[in-house]
Structure 1
Amino acid sequence: MVLDLEKRTYLLVTGASRGIGQRMAVELADHLKAGSVVVLLARTEQGLAQTKSSIEALGKDLKVYIFSIDLSTAKKSQFLEILDKSLQGVNVRSFERAFILHNAGTVGDVSKSAVESSDTDDWQVYFHMNVFSVISLNCEFFRKFTGVSKLVVNITSKCGIEPYGSMSFYCSGKAAREMYFRVLAVEQENEDVLVLNYAPGAIDTEMTELVQRQSSNKELADFFKMQRDTKTMLTTGQTTQKFLKVLQEQKFKSGDHVDYWDDEE
């Protein structure tokens, strides 16, 4: 089956101010049909404005909204307000598809081992940002677009299915988040809902730079350094093109984990 992206779409992307979220938002917008709505969420308003400008430079008839929000403290009421503002005067049934891309995420404290990470306040903040806010936004998105075909993408990681030293926050958060979306896929299997957990690979972004600098796992830090030094670390453009190919070819089943390197090694 081929997934047609060229539909009148309501597209919501979190973490859209930089990195792969920014690149994916622009590339996806370029596929959408005129009259689509693109909603960009992140903390940094300046980065959001840059993403918006890049989308508007495509010259397509799209409405683009930006909302600065801190997902580490975000509440249900804020998500409802964002959805309502971006849909003001619009009938949700006029969209052929509602597409949400859960990209926003943080790596957590990589300087500590699992047994050193004992502060429950740190874990509460991390899980609110990377799991609880994601679930809350997704729930309100589903309620708002009842009766509309939905495409849900969770940006996950190999860390969600394999353990890596110094990455207890990141691995735990990705695992919990991915399982939520797998459950969602099972529950929605008889509905017009498609769920994808996409692992983009190690990307040359600020996140992998932070891991390289601060990780207590020397082997992991050295691996990232080697990739940068040899220019073999993936770019946002490379993983976005693979992501679009995965979507369009739709060889996966709803809820599947698909990695950038699948079928490449």
Structure 2
Amino acid sequence: MTGKIFKGKVFLLVTGASQGIGRKIAEVLGSTLESGSLVLLLARNAENLKGTADNMPKTLAVEYRSVDLSKATAEELRSIIDGALVKDSGADAASKFDEIVVVHNVGSIGDVTKFAVDMTDFDYWRQYYDLNVFSPAVLNGVFMNVFKGKNIKRHVINITSACGIQPFNSMGYYCSGKAAREMYFKVFAKENPDVNVLNYSPGPVDTEMLDTVTDNIVDPTTKEIFKDLKENERVLTTDQTVKKFLDILSSKKYESGDHVDYYDEL
């Protein structure tokens, strides 16, 4: 198990924490935090969020909130964060942390039954980008502003994908969304050199998202790529990818804003 990555009292926020990579990141990263740290878990499924919260170390204060991030306003997100802070630490709670960490994991694969030329529904585009691009950007701004002016170390992790830098047929929504989202965090890193920003690409992981692609993608070449990954047992477990994620954070051998893939050498 990786040792302590962050020091002192930490506020950790993880989105998409009800299942898959998000749940595993919350559980494993939470196990490295010092006693008295605060963890805030966000996702839509309250029951699954509770399951994640129940698996967290009892030495931590853990709050979870069921929220549709594609529809939440900046004011609502601020209220959720402020509520967790006040409940945990009372007045001027934001000053009581040594480090803050936000993991932007929430995301969806999008409609993989269409080629780019058929992606002509404005409403679908808006809904997809609301969840996958706009909500992480807005939440990130809100989270940073909560701690603005405080002498606190800040860490921002965006869960990205190789699809954000390499095109795949029938994955126009996912590829373009990941590319836009990652570029936002690269700009954020450039504008905020005092913040540690990591764009982590977890590789092909055994999740419901991977099953959706394998079962439903319309392009035969892309389908064969993902089918081959499964048949040749090259799909990663959440344990594997989260261990590498923690190793990357610990090594600090990347420049803030970098895209680091599971398969990259440390």
TM-score scaled by structure 1? Answer: 0.94
Matched residue type, 1:83: I
Could you say which residue in structure 2 is the equivalent of 1:228? 230
Could you say which residue in structure 1 is the equivalent of 2:23? 22
**In the aligned structure 1, how far is the partner of 2:49 from the partner of 2:223?**
30
Match of 1:70 among 68, 71, 74: 68
Matched residue type, 2:69: L
Displacement of 1:94 after TM fit? 1.3
Could you say which residue in structure 1 is the equivalent of 2:155? 151
Cα RMSD of the aligned pairs, angstroms, is: 1.4
Aligned pairs, how many? 258
* Structure 1 unmatched runs, 5+: none
Measured against aligned partners, the alpha-carbon deviations of 1:119-148 in whole angstroms (never above 9, x if no partner) come to 010000000001111111111101101222
Could you say which residue in structure 2 is the equivalent of 1:174? 178
CA contact (8 A) 2:163 2:175 kept: yes
Q: SS of the counterpart of 1:196?
A: strand
Could you say which residue in structure 2 is the equivalent of 1:215? 217
Match of 1:187 among 173, 180, 191: 191
Q: SS of the counterpart of 1:65?
A: strand
**In the aligned structure 1, how far is the partner of 2:112 from the partner of 2:81?**
34
Q: SS of the counterpart of 1:87?
A: helix
**In the aligned structure 2, how far is the partner of 1:194 from the partner of 1:15?**
21
**In the aligned structure 1, how far is the partner of 2:72 from the partner of 2:85?**
20
Q: Which moved more, 1:76-85 or 1:151-160?
A: 76-85
> Aligned ranges for residues 93-132 of structure 1 at < 5 Å?
93-132=95-134
Q: SS of the counterpart of 2:185?
A: helix
**In the aligned structure 1, how far is the partner of 2:217 from the partner of 2:153?**
41
Matched, 1:34 2:32: no
Displacement of 1:3 after TM fit? 8.2
TM-score scaled by structure 2? Answer: 0.94
Matched residue type, 2:178: K
Matched residue type, 2:66: S
**In the aligned structure 2, how far is the partner of 1:187 from the partner of 1:172?**
23
Could you say which residue in structure 1 is the equivalent of 2:165? 161
